Amino acid sequence: MEVIDYFIRRQSMVMELFWEHMYLIVVAVGIAVAVGVILGIIITYNRTLAQGVLIVCQVLMTIPSIAMLGLLLPFFGIGFTTGMLALVLYSLLPIVRNTHSGIIEIDKAIIEAATGMGMNEWRKLTRIKLPLALPVIMAGIRTATVMVVGIGAIASYIGAGGLGQLIFNGISRTNPPMIITGAIFISIIAVGFDLILGWSERRLHVAGRD
Amino acid sequence: MIRLENLTKQFPGMDRLAVNKLNLEVGKGEVCVLVGPSGCGKTTTMKMINRLCEPTDGKIYVDGQDTSKMNPIKLRLDIGYVIQQIGLFPHMTINDNVATVPKEKKWPKEKIKKRTAELLELVGLDPREHGGRYPSGLSGGQQQRVGIARALAADPPIMLMDEPFAAVDRITRSRLQNEFLRLQRELNKTIIFVTHDIDEAIKMGDRIAVLREGKLIQYDEPGKILSEPAGDFVANLVGRNRSIKRLHLIRAHEILEEEHWGVPLDTPREEIKERIEESVISTVMVIDEKGYLKGIIGRRAIEEKEGEKAEDLMEEVPDNVTDDATLNDALSVMLEIGEGYVPVVDADGLFRGTLTLNTLLDQVRSDKSAK
């Protein structure tokens, strides 16, 4: 109950950090979607390029988050930019991979029919490939978002702001209610995004009739 | 209309030519069937016509124009394309699927809507019932009807069809084939039709091109392919039972007899009895005043059933064929229902007459003696 107490007393500060955290995630995932989907589309046209890009993304995701932050610090300094950049790099793999496989795995007959009927590449992409790959792309975005909520907490360590701050400060001040408040809110964000994105993914499946 | 000149295709990394100096001319309104075993180059040949596949050598002329100098997108918009796997877009409704090419051609909305409904009716689907559905809600046969409607949407003068009926069961296939032939009589398209099934080739083609390892072995009318196969390869492809295959070439309406054993609903018992005695199949067909087939009366029915009028004596019709069905279709229905006859109706369901096993046999015999 100390936690509720703590939350009530420091409500405005916690909420500020909450929105900071949300902002960090939305901006990072937003950029990652823009870059990742375009990259994912481009690599469907070249198998060698696809392998290369996917390996790079895989390596990026394998780097431990604290090491990634350490590697970026010398170039971008302490603060929001470095944290966000790290999150973007982490979200790339699921989004690029799912965009790529979502498009590649469309039934060849469907693509052949579209080509045979005189659709140009752009029309095929916008009318056939992307709509059919959308549920898979959405699943990638969901994975990326949930993962980034957690890594975003670590990004607080290098001054990117967000709810991670409650945990780090709580640890150094031995203030358990502060730690738990931060942890609970981060979990709420993760679960919340997972539910909302999972729901929209299922909706897309129904609309796609596959 | 379509002319292939020394058409050659070699796939990268392959020694053998997929298509080897093929020369072929298809006239306007003709159905040309490319037939041969798998790997004979028939599909590759077809795909070179709409440039899904580029020739290594040789030329293709459509309406006298060299297709290699045309914009491939424009070329494809004027060539209907139907494939075995159907390839409907699963995320679009049937209406939107059919409207694909008109939309690419930027037709006005109203015109597209009208055309879509018209096409669905043309291929035997109800625009109100099926138009708003997704492909997954349709049976295989219905899906291929949509595939054909989609290919016909912008009224292209040429259609390419790659094993269009191979994915459906035998009964649906023969129905779709017959419907397609009826459509073709109205629409008069120039069609390249690919199949591995010689029976289908004989049934569908005005002319048949037999291919083997990329080479044209014989290009002839179906009757000629059956009676004068060029060499062992074609003879083997056609097989031994050519008399049965000839049944593919003749349609029910071509040999229906005047005498059809049809009686009105109110025919009295005595008269029916007489007619049954006279009938070679010991059965009469009961027809209503509009001309629809209502039922049949056989010898057993008249002996066992009470009642004074045809209406009370008749039993359900076991099955029928349409008048554009081939004699082969008629024969399979007879074997299916275990009777020596099958009633024939026209496209609107009106009774046209009865085909009997004897007429089929006579047909086969006269073919034999003509040879």
Span A19-58, pLDDT tens digits:
999 999 999 999 999 999 999 999 999 999 999 999 998 9
Rounded distance, CA A63 to CA B225, Å?
A: 69
Residue A116 has pLDDT above 90, yes or no: yes
| pLDDT > 70: percent of chain B | 98
**Of how many residues is chain B composed?**
371
Angle at B16 between CA B15 and CA B20, to 5 degrees: 135
pLDDT score, position A207: 62
pLDDT score, position B323: 84
Q: What average pLDDT does range B103-122 have in this prediction?
A: 93
Residue A209 has pLDDT above 70, yes or no: no
The token pair that represents B232 in the structure block: 């062992």
Instruction: Tell me the ipTM for this assembly.
Output: 0.81
Of B50, B73, B81, the CB nearest to A120: B73
Residue B58: pLDDT band with limits 50, 70, 90 = very high
pLDDT score, position B259: 61
Which are the contacts of B340, defined by CB distance < 8 A and separation ≥ 6?
B281, B334, B356, B357, B358
Residue B159 has pLDDT above 90, yes or no: yes
Could you tell me if A210 lies within 8 Å of chain B, comparing CB atoms? yes
Residue B368: pLDDT band with limits 50, 70, 90 = low
Residue A3: pLDDT band with limits 50, 70, 90 = confident
pLDDT in tens, B179-234: 888 889 889 999 999 999 998 999 899 999 999 999 999 999 998 888 888 888 99
> Which segment of A127-141, B158-172, B301-315 scores lowest on mean pLDDT?
B301-315
Residue B267: pLDDT band with limits 50, 70, 90 = confident
Residue B276: pLDDT band with limits 50, 70, 90 = confident
Q: Mind telling me how many Å the CA of B82 is from chain A's nearest CA?
A: 8
CB contact under 8 A, A109 and B101: no
B109 or A209: whose pLDDT is higher? B109
Could you tell me if B233 lies within 8 Å of chain A, comparing CB atoms? no
Q: What average pLDDT does range B2-30 have in this prediction?
A: 92
Could you tell me if B106 lies within 8 Å of chain A, comparing CB atoms? no
Rounded distance, CA B293 to CA B288, Å?
A: 7
Q: To the nearest whole number, what is the mean pLDDT of chain A?
A: 91
CB pairs under 8 A between A and B: 68
CB contact under 8 A, B89 and A118: no
Residue B1 has pLDDT above 70, yes or no: yes
CB contact under 8 A, A209 and B83: no
pLDDT score, position B370: 58
pLDDT score, position B5: 92
Report the half-sphere exposure of A48 (CA within 13 A, side-chain side).
0
pLDDT score, position A48: 94
Residue B258: pLDDT band with limits 50, 70, 90 = low
pLDDT in tens, B318-362: 888 888 888 888 888 888 888 888 889 888 888 888 888 888 888
Rounded distance, CA A30 to CA A91, Å?
A: 10
β B207-212/B31-35 pair status: parallel
Residue that is written with structure tokens 């084939």 in the block? B177
Residue B148: pLDDT band with limits 50, 70, 90 = very high
Map chain A to HEC letters.
Answer: CHHHHHHHHCHHHHHHHHHHHHHHHHHHHHHHHHHHHHHHHHHHHCHHHHHHHHHHHHHHHHCCHHHHHHHHHHHHCCCHHHHHHHHHHHHHHHHHHHHHHHHHCCCHHHHHHHHHCCCCHHHHHHHHHHHHHHHHHHHHHHHHHHHHHHHHHHHHHHCCCCCHHHHHHHHHCCCHHHHHHHHHHHHHHHHHHHHHHHHHHHHHHHHHCC
Are B159 and B180 in contact by the 8 Å Cβ rule? The answer is no
